[in-house]
Amino acid sequence: MGIRHRLLFSILLLLSGSTLTRAQEYNWKAPVAPAPEKGYYRILLSPEVRGNLQADLSDVRLMNEQQQEVPYLLRSEQPVQYKKLFKPYTILHYNRKKDCCSELLIENTNKRKIDNISLLIKNADVRKQVHLSGSDDRENWFVLKAQDVLHTLNSTESTARLRLLEFPLNDYRYLRLQLNDSSSALSTSCRPATTTLRQRPVSTPPFLCNKSPAPTAPDTPISGCNLPGLLTLSNWK
């Protein structure tokens, strides 16, 4: 909101009780700081002020010290900053043993400090036990999550559900996620496929295990076979 007018004194923002009310009759008013210099002057309508206004803001009146109405322009600010919530990580390999378990090896290349990962898992009426460990050399592994259980993974609104796995803050270069999914009815179907890794993978196609060199850029397509029951894996920040 702004006016091209030099304001020498404090002005009052006066809110009329009705659009038909005479200019001298107001139910509520709020002070406005003096304009610091000549030119457009932006006045922010605080939540307290907005709470006393009509929904369409038609009852706003801007008055100078002589109680004369001053013209104004009404503008809504658009957000200029957006935060990407997901950070993708490289999956070095994915192994699944029939009637047993699955193992996923993730590389935290930049050794970021993380305390959670999010899993987008296909619907299944099962309980999955999760074991998570970390390492810097892929030889010596240290337990981060000994036994965690992902209960019935069903969503009535989509074919997959996002699960958050939290663990102690660490900066291991490698994370090994082991899932006991022997009771899962899901199967592995290997076939040529492509997908794109992005910062917000919730709405992307199923994540694929990488059978070729790891992608070097966030939008590099990769090929491989579908992960049974596991679609995406990212760090939630």
Q: Which domains does the chain have, with CATH numbers?
A: 1-77 (no CATH), 86-185+194-236 (2.60.120)
DSSP H helices in the chain: 47-50
Residues in the chain: 237
For residues 192 and 209, is the Cβ–Cβ distance under 8 A?
no
Residue for token pair 């050794």:
111
pLDDT at site 143: 92
Print burial letters for 28-54: b (CB count within 10 Å at least 16), e (below 16).
eeeebeebeeeeebebebeeebeeeee
Q: In what order do the strands lie in the sheet with 60-63?
A: 28-32, 11-15, 60-63
- Which segments of the chain have a pLDDT < 50? 1-23, 183-237
CA distances from 80 to 1, 73, 74, 77 (A): 17, 21, 19, 9
Q: How far apart are CA 119 and CA 117, in angstroms?
A: 7
Predicted confidence at residue 182, as pLDDT, reads 54
pLDDT digits 0-9 by tens, 41-56: 778 877 777 777 787 8
pLDDT at 205: 30
Please state, in angstroms and as integers, the Cα–Cα distance from residue 45 to each residue in 9, 15, 53, 132, following that order: 19, 12, 10, 50
